[in-house]
Amino acid sequence: MAFSDELWDSAADVYTAIRAHPFLTGLTDGTLPHAAFGQFVVQDSHYLRGYARALAVLAARAPTEDDTTLFAQHAAGAIAAEQDMHAALSDALALDTDAPATPTTLAYTSYLLATCHGASFAEGLGAVLPCYWIYARVGEALLGESSPDPLYARWIAMYGGDEFQAVVDAALGVMDRIAVDLAPAERSRVLEHYRTTSRYEWMFWDAAWRRENWPV
Ligand SMILES: Cc1ncc(CO)c(N)n1
């Protein structure tokens, strides 16, 4: 069994919870309030900037030239995704682009950056993988359902496409290649980071759904 299969199975329960979340069921049936989606888009801009930096750190720490190229390209891709999403959705949604990162966004991006800077390369990769993989799986599932709301349909088309799937497969390929050399203790730390950020993925949608804000 490839290590990536082990990773997926270790957080399959979290993925099931994500698919059932009212934010996502509301996207496909069109009942999600635009205010919740708008908050998600603004928070995702903050998120993607942090995610891009985390990928750039992985690029710097990568074991081979090819891996450095790969993660540097993915970092650039995350910045481009942030800009594209903004261009595609900001006119239609009255976005509060000055809103700061909410507690969940800050916690998630801080965790990604701390792990990519401070733990091993494999652990950093374990932490960023759910961002790639859960999105691709969610995008693929939602693509089959689409949405009666044209804005939501446009967003779904951006993440459900084959292009994003190829990016995910490349990152999983690096994980499976390096996993064979990992000691058991490091493998379990990779699994732990992977589960933690999978949970943050659920929390990220939930925060927009709740219109999370700083309590004081
Ligand atoms: C919260 C979150 N996770 C993953 C992705 C995919 O890059 C994204 N855009 N936002």
- Whether ligand 1 lies within 6 angstroms of the CB of 204 is answered as yes
Domain-located, residue 134: yes
- Whether ligand 1 lies within 6 angstroms of the CB of 123 is answered as no
**Atom 5 in ligand 1: which residue has the minimum CA distance?**
131
Domain-located, residue 214: no
CB 8: neighbour CB atoms within 10 A? 19
Cβ–Cβ < 8 Å for 200, 108: yes
Domain containing 71: what range?
A: 3-209
Domain-located, residue 46: yes
Domain-located, residue 34: yes
The letter for the amino acid at 176 is: D
- Whether ligand 1 lies within 6 angstroms of the CB of 101 is answered as no
Domain-located, residue 188: yes
CATH number, residue 197: 1.20.910.10
The predicted-structure confidence for 18-42, as pLDDT tens digits, reads as follows 999 999 999 999 999 999 999 999 9
Domain count of the fold of the chain: 1
The predicted-structure confidence for 161-192, as pLDDT tens digits, reads as follows 788 889 999 999 999 999 999 999 999 999 99
**How far are the Cα atoms of 26, 65, 95, 110, 210 from residue 53, in angstroms, in the given order?**
31, 18, 24, 11, 27
Domain-located, residue 216: no
Burial class (CB in 10 A: 0-12, 13-18, 19+), 123: buried
Domain-located, residue 26: yes
| Distance of CA 29 from the midpoint of ligand 1 (Å) | 21
- Whether ligand 1 lies within 6 angstroms of the CB of 206 is answered as no
What is the ipTM, given to two decimal places? 0.96
Domain-located, residue 139: yes
